[in-house]
Amino acid sequence: MLKPAIPDNESQRLNALEEANILYSPTEEEFDNITQLASFICKTPISLISLVGEHEQWFKSKYGTDMCTSERDISFCSHAILEPEQLMEIEDTRLDVRFVDNPFVLAKTEPIIYYAGMPLKNHNNMVLGTLCVIDTKPNKLSQEQKNALKSLAKQVEILLELKRKNDYLENIKKQLNEHNAMLKDFAGVVSHDMKMPLANMIITADILKAKFGSKLGEEGLDYLQNLKQAGLRLSGYINGILDHYESDNIAASKNEEFDVNQLLEEIIDLLNITEDCVINLPEDNTIISSNRAALEQIFLNLLGNSLKYNDKPKIIIDIEFSQNPDFYYFSIQDNGIGIPKEKEDDIFKLFTTVAKSDRAGNKGNGIGLSTVKRLVGNLGGNLKVNSEVGEGTRFTFSIKRKA
């Protein structure tokens, strides 16, 4: 018996095998289907997907045997991987100097008399192991069977590559989730810690104006007003961040029954509208069962934007509602400044703003629509926008109905 040689690129090959993250992994139906098919096509009782490690070979999938591993020095696959592009076929192992006294060949029960193995390579052309078929008597594959075995080996390589990529993406997803959790915690702590000093700053500006307004003069009062407005804008920004990161918790709230029009009327009252404005509610009062808190947050943001980003003397907002057995549908149409077509996708990105300023001359923070999209997605729906610059904007969104 001849021991198999060690490939010249053995260290790189072993690194590739480790990076594949496949050794000693659980059985998978996709791989088992291939070994079963290989055995059927080649008409052999045994088929294996063998991965050749540093000291042993391990079978990712096996058909027709209970054996899970064997020593590398006596494995047939360790010889097969030395010729990465070739199918190694041994018609009678008893006649091959490499295997004549191999323990598997001399076994009294189910000896390995026939072997055919096609090397398996990764995306960098490193050989990881083989797809092989085994018989207990002399055998010989037809050319069609050889071609089929090579094709099945390619399918194993594809599965290995898909698994590698999936593992990589899962790792990236895990890291992103960890980073997002850290960012969420950081944003929450910073925002909460800043709210009180900001409130004190705003209150102090009002106190200074009340006590010393007559002594400060017009310029001093302007400074105080600018200070207060800056504090209010920053406070709104912080509240937006908190709302954004709390949206997941809001979306997890329990469903409750409520009247759509009553909800909208309460939201309109909260907005404290002072402009010349007409808001047309849905014609019918409809009772729905949904996440009331989430819908309230969605409408506060969308109606707030329709009010702020409007340059018409009279603001007109039309709200529509419909439903089917699977979804609730809402739409909000305004006659505001509109959104350029090329910017419609950007408005849902966090911290992205399109308009330079709103109706009052203030610049937005780019948080509200991102929060709306997040809430709608968490509620199993979709959010769309259709807008015409100078004419107005229509937001439509759906909410999945729960049984």
pLDDT at 393: 94
Alpha-carbon dihedral 133, 139, 142, 145, rounded to 10 degrees: -20
For residue range 226-255, what is the model confidence (pLDDT) as tens digits? 787 777 666 665 665 566 556 566 666 678
pLDDT at 84: 93
Query: Of the ranges 260-264, 323-327, 351-355, which one carries the lowest mean pLDDT score?
Result: 351-355
pLDDT at 272: 77
Which range, 41-50, 293-302, 332-341, has the best average confidence (pLDDT)? Answer: 41-50
Q: Above 70 in pLDDT, residue 194?
A: no
Q: Above 90 in pLDDT, residue 29?
A: yes
Query: Of the ranges 60-69, 115-124, 339-348, 358-367, which one carries the lowest mean pLDDT score?
Result: 358-367
**What is the helix (H) or strand (E) element at residue 118, kind and residue range?**
strand 114-121
pLDDT at 117: 97
Q: How many CA atoms lie within 13 A of 21 on its CB side?
A: 10
Whole-number Å distance between alpha carbons of 394 and 380: 20
Q: Above 60 in pLDDT, residue 220?
A: yes
pLDDT at 118: 97
Structure tokens at 330: 């809402």
Of 199, 217, 219, nearest to 207 by C-alpha is: 199
pLDDT at 186: 63
Whole-model pTM? 0.53
Q: Above 80 in pLDDT, residue 182?
A: no
Share of the chain above pLDDT 70, in %: 87
How do the domains of the chain map onto residue ranges? 10-167, 252-400
Q: Give mean pLDDT, residues 64-76.
A: 92
> Scanning the structure block, which residue is given the tokens 């797809």?
131
Residues, the chain? 403
For residue range 133-165, what is the model confidence (pLDDT) as tens digits? 999 999 999 999 999 999 999 999 999 999 888
Using left for φ > 0, alpha for ψ between -120 and 50, and beta otherwise, residue 361 falls in left
pLDDT at 145: 97
> 252-400: which CATH architecture?
2-Layer Sandwich (3.30)
Name the pLDDT band for 185 (thresholds 50, 70, 90): low
Fold of 10-167: Beta-Lactamase (3.30.450)
> Scanning the structure block, which residue is given the tokens 């480790």?
18
Per residue in 27-40, is it b (16+ CB within 10 Å) or e — as a string? Answer: eeeebbebbebbbe
Q: Give mean pLDDT, residues 350-379.
A: 74
Share of the chain above pLDDT 90, in %: 50
